[in-house]
Amino acid sequence: MALLVAVLGAGCTYPDDELVWGNCCALKVADETSGSKQRETLIAWGRVNNFQGDGTNSWNNTQAWRSRQIGLGLADFRKAHPGSQGPDYLAHLGMTCTPSGGSKADPTRCEVELSVWARCVAKLGMLFPAPVPEELRKPIAAVLQMTIDVSGSDILASSVQVVPLPGGRLCHR
């Protein structure tokens, strides 16, 4: 029992500020009240739990999940709007779409920037995560940037990142 208490207690003490910063931080989009249904859809696609503290996201499985979600939304949109294509759906959601070439067969890039709130969370430690440094405990105003490349109804690629507002910072020193 004493060993259990010692192990549990060890997870709660971080005497060195460097240890706290060493486990910090991942970033999570925490925008809960989005406004419109379109904005909520875009935020849901961008709300991944594996942003690095600098706002980047490089997990391939997140991109695959996002592509499936976009495809499901597009299928519903096409049922309601026969003859529509991927760029039509993404423009309906508020993205700006620009063809990347001269023909209709060329991919179209759709982009959006959304103001969001982000939160810093500990990178490691499911049961007893290290505390987030004091200066990063409040929500951070940031911008969610999303890019989706489509061709007709095919989702070719997507990327998402969080960037700080000018003069601001995210979850890193």
170 is a domain residue: no
Number of neighbouring beta carbons within 10 Å of residue 25? 24
172 is a domain residue: no
57 is a domain residue: yes
Number of domains in the chain: 1
Question: What is d(CA 18, CA 24) in angstroms, rounded to the nearest whole number?
Answer: 10
From first to last of its 173 residues, what are the pLDDT tens digits of the chain? 444 434 444 444 455 566 566 566 788 887 666 678 898 888 888 876 668 888 887 666 677 788 888 999 999 999 999 999 999 999 999 999 998 776 666 799 999 999 988 888 877 655 666 677 777 888 889 999 999 999 888 888 888 999 999 888 888 76
Tell me which residue of 135, 147, 125, 113 sits closest to 23, measured CA to CA. 125
Instruction: Record the tokens describing residue 75, joined without a space.
Output: 């299928």
59 is a domain residue: yes
Tell me which residue of 46, 43, 37 sits closest to 65, measured CA to CA. 46
Domain holding 119, by residue range, is: 2-164
99 is a domain residue: yes
45 is a domain residue: yes
Tell me which residue of 17, 16, 47 sits closest to 31, measured CA to CA. 47
What are the contacts of 44-49 at 24+ separation with CB within 8 A?
Answer: 44/69, 45/69, 45/70, 45/146, 45/158, 45/160, 46/114, 46/116, 46/144, 46/146, 46/160, 48/160
47 is a domain residue: yes
173 is a domain residue: no
pLDDT at res. 109: 94
